[in-house]
Chains A and B, each alone.
Chain A
């Protein structure tokens, strides 16, 4: 039981990490392509990074309520 809990959180962390790195890469590209839109891109990427991290945080907590 303990292994599956740790495994779930590790998977969620891996997914979160990949998600945010893809987001970061695309945000950098978008800002590079259109520097004028830096602030809107920043706002959107902060919102999406928060949602991605939210998934990890939810898994990290949901695992404890067995």
Chain B
């Protein structure tokens, strides 16, 4: 009987995949810039079609973890082995970027964001996801499922969360005095008159640093959104170029480009946020590892 428990946990995940892939007719027009809510007018108007996709991604990750940990063994086998390999390689990768102390504190965010972005990107790429449509109140045909990251709200939410966490981690890691010293204090030792000059110069450098710190979440969210949304537009646009029966042909190569872009953008988003955190948290006595 034990053998079936992991199967039972994985079954809903498989069903979820199949459900999104069931309607396989190609096609799907241009993706509107803003998501649309299938529950307009009801109190759930805030649930947009991209929110549904993100929840499905989150549910998939939850089921994956549950299936992987349903029957834990010292020598991991099958599902658990794959999950352990995945988490461990992510942990070591971020450890090499952040250093051992910092990665212990922050891996929950970076690993989780990476998996979520990757899952949501690949869920949106399942063929046929764009063809599950509903007719909204004023007669327009809208896609029920929309790529989670093809929606600026999702990417902005993630990068704003990172901005808040970055601030909290930087303050607690460095202490407030060091935090501001890290941005404004003159680096290198100067004496007398030179020091006064340097303080002014490095104050200006600090202001520039603040501006760049403020730009980062904006750049992170635009980059992820721009790439994924642009990719879906390309796929949709290419399908519209050729007659219906041949619609799959021009977008086939771009499909694999999108698979690669989905992985790279997930990696870029989390790697850049890890590097930004590392920039502010490096202490002068950091030994080269």
Contacts and interface: CB of A to CB of B under 8 A. Distances in A.
B106 interface: no
Contacts of B226: 57, 60-61
A49 B265 CA distance: 11
Contacts of A43: 97, 271
Q: Is the interface of B mostly helix, strand, loop or mixed?
A: helix
A58 B218 CA distance: 9
Contact of A46 (B219, B223, B267): B267
For chain A, the bracket of interface size reads 10 to 19
A58 B271 contact: no
Contact of A58 (B97, B219, B264, B267): B219
For chain B, the bracket of interface size reads 10 to 19
A49 B275 CA distance: 14
Query: Which residue, A43, A49, A60, has most C-beta atoms of chain B within 10 A?
Result: A43
A54 B271 CA distance: 14
B91 interface: no
A13 to B, nearest CB: 11
Contacts of A60: 226
A38 interface: no
B8 to A, nearest CB: 39
A50 interface: yes
Contacts of A51: 272
A46 B97 CA distance: 13
A47 interface: yes
Given A47-B272, A60-B226, A61-B226, A54 B219 contact: yes
Nearest to A50: B268
B227 A53 contact: yes
B222 A57 contact: yes
Contacts of A46: 264, 267-268, 271
